[in-house]
Amino acid sequence: MNVEKNTIENNNATEYTNEWSIESAEKTYRVNRWGNGYFSVGEHGCINVTPRHDQPGLSINLQEVVDEIAATDIDFPVVIRFHDILRSQVERLNRTFRSTIEEADYEGRYFGVFPVKVNQMREVIEEIVSAGKRFDYGLEAGSKPELIAALAYNTNKNSLTILNGYKDEEYLKLALLGQKIHRNTIIVIEKYSELTKLISLSKSLGIKPVIGLRVKMMVKGRGKWESSSGERAKFGLSIAEILNAIDLLEQENLKDTIKLLHFHIGSQLTDIRAIKEAVQESSLIYTQLVKQGVPLEYVDVGGGLAVDYDGSQSTNDSSCNYDLTEYIADIIYGFKQSCDLESVQHPHIVSESGRAMTAHHSCVITKIVGEIQPSDKSYNTRKKTGEHIIVSNIREIENNLSSDNFQESFNDVSQLKEQAMQAFKLSVLTLEELAKIETLYWRILNTVEKVSQAEEFIPEELKEIPEMLSSQYLANFSVFQSAADSWAIDQVLPIVPIARLNEAPLKLCSLVDITCDSDGKIDKFIGDEEVSKLLPLHQLNDGEDYYIGLFLTGAYQDVMGDMHNLFGRLNEVHIVSYDDDPKDFYIEEVVKGSAVKNVLSTMQYTPEIMAQVVKKEIDKQIQRGKIKPREGVNWIDFYENCLDGYTYLK
Ligand X SMILES: *Cc1c(COP(=O)(O)O)cnc(C)c1O
Cβ-based nearer residue to ligand X, 304 or 549: 304
Applying CB under 6 A, the span of 52-60, 299-307, 326-334, 624-632 interacting with ligand X comes to: 299-307
Applying CB under 6 A, the span of 238-246, 263-271, 336-344, 577-585 interacting with ligand X comes to: 263-271
Q: Which residues pair with 371 in a beta bridge?
A: 473
Give yes or no for residue 138 binding ligand X (CB under 6 A): no
Q: Which residues pair with 213 in a beta bridge?
A: 189, 261
Q: Can you tell me which of 75, 194, 277, 352 binds ligand X, judged by CB under 6 A?
A: 352
Query: Largest Cα–Cα distance in the chain?
Result: 100
Cβ-based nearer residue to ligand X, 7 or 164: 164
Give yes or no for residue 304 binding ligand X (CB under 6 A): yes
Cβ-based nearer residue to ligand X, 180 or 234: 234
Other Cβ atoms within 10 Å of 246 Cβ, number:
17
Give yes or no for residue 355 binding ligand X (CB under 6 A): yes
Applying CB under 6 A, the span of 272-280, 325-333, 346-354, 604-612 interacting with ligand X comes to: 346-354
CA–CA separation, 84 and 551 (whole Å): 16
Cα radius of gyration (the chain):
30
Cβ-based nearer residue to ligand X, 262 or 500: 262
Nearest to 93, CA basis, from 365, 325, 408, 271: 325
Applying CB under 6 A, the span of 260-268, 339-347, 421-429, 486-494 interacting with ligand X comes to: 260-268
CA–CA separation, 298 and 348 (whole Å): 5
CA–CA separation, 169 and 182 (whole Å): 20
Give yes or no for residue 354 binding ligand X (CB under 6 A): yes
Cβ-based nearer residue to ligand X, 75 or 330: 330
CA–CA separation, 587 and 296 (whole Å): 46
Which 8-state DSSP code applies to residue 273? H
Beta strand ranges found along 236-326 (DSSP E): 258-262, 298-300
Nearest distance, CB of residue 194 and ligand X, angstroms: 14
Nearest to 485, CA basis, from 320, 221, 268, 229: 268
Applying CB under 6 A, the span of 75-83, 271-279, 291-299, 347-355 interacting with ligand X comes to: 347-355
Nearest distance, CB of residue 142 and ligand X, angstroms: 6
Helices 192-205 and 239-251 pack at an angle, to 10 degrees, of 20
Give yes or no for residue 367 binding ligand X (CB under 6 A): no
Give yes or no for residue 462 binding ligand X (CB under 6 A): no
Cβ-based nearer residue to ligand X, 312 or 353: 353
Question: How many residues interact with ligand X (rule CB under 6 A)?
Answer: 16
Q: 238-246 long-range contacts, Cβ below 8 Å, gap at least 24?
A: 239/215, 239/285, 241/192, 242/213, 242/215, 242/285, 242/289, 244/192, 245/189, 245/192, 245/195, 245/213, 246/289, 246/292, 246/294
Q: Can you tell me which of 159, 164, 185, 486 binds ligand X, judged by CB under 6 A?
A: 164
> Dihedral angle at the C-alpha atoms of 313, 314, 317, 320, nearest 10 degrees?
50
Cβ-based nearer residue to ligand X, 350 or 498: 350
CA–CA separation, 179 and 172 (whole Å): 11
Applying CB under 6 A, the span of 250-258, 296-304, 390-398, 531-539 interacting with ligand X comes to: 296-304
Site string for ligand X, 305-324 (x = CB under 6 A): x-------------------
Applying CB under 6 A, the span of 60-68, 204-212, 283-291, 349-357 interacting with ligand X comes to: 349-357
Nearest distance, CB of residue 221 and ligand X, angstroms: 9
- Site for ligand X, residues 15 to 54, rule: CB under 6 A: none
Nearest distance, CB of residue 267 and ligand X, angstroms: 3
Q: Which residue is nearest to ligand X (CB)?
A: 303
140 with 113: CB under 8 angstroms?
Answer: yes
Give yes or no for residue 267 binding ligand X (CB under 6 A): yes
Give yes or no for residue 222 binding ligand X (CB under 6 A): no
Q: Can you tell me which of 264, 388, 507, 597 binds ligand X, judged by CB under 6 A?
A: 264
334 with 280: CB under 8 angstroms?
Answer: yes
* Host H or E run for residue 162: strand 160-163
Give yes or no for residue 92 binding ligand X (CB under 6 A): no
Cβ-based nearer residue to ligand X, 36 or 470: 36
Tally the C-alpha atoms within 13 A of residue 60's C-alpha that lie toward its C-beta.
31
Nearest distance, CB of residue 139 and ligand X, angstroms: 11
Q: Can you tell me which of 303, 334, 494, 497 binds ligand X, judged by CB under 6 A?
A: 303
Site string for ligand X, 97-136 (x = CB under 6 A): ------------------x-xx------------------
Cβ-based nearer residue to ligand X, 89 or 439: 89
Nearest distance, CB of residue 512 and ligand X, angstroms: 29
237 with 289: CB under 8 angstroms?
Answer: no
Nearest distance, CB of residue 263 and ligand X, angstroms: 9
DSSP string, 338-354: HHHHHT-PPPEEE----
Nearest distance, CB of residue 552 and ligand X, angstroms: 13
Give yes or no for residue 302 binding ligand X (CB under 6 A): yes
CA–CA separation, 237 and 217 (whole Å): 9
Residue type, 304: G
CA–CA separation, 86 and 235 (whole Å): 29
Q: Can you tell me which of 48, 257, 312, 353 binds ligand X, judged by CB under 6 A?
A: 353
Applying CB under 6 A, the span of 22-30, 75-83, 297-305, 558-566 interacting with ligand X comes to: 297-305
* Host H or E run for residue 598: helix 596-602
Give yes or no for residue 179 binding ligand X (CB under 6 A): no
Cβ-based nearer residue to ligand X, 236 or 311: 236
Burial class (CB in 10 A: 0-12, 13-18, 19+), 230: middle
Residues that bind ligand X (CB under 6 A): 115, 117-118, 142, 164, 264, 267-268, 302-305, 352-355
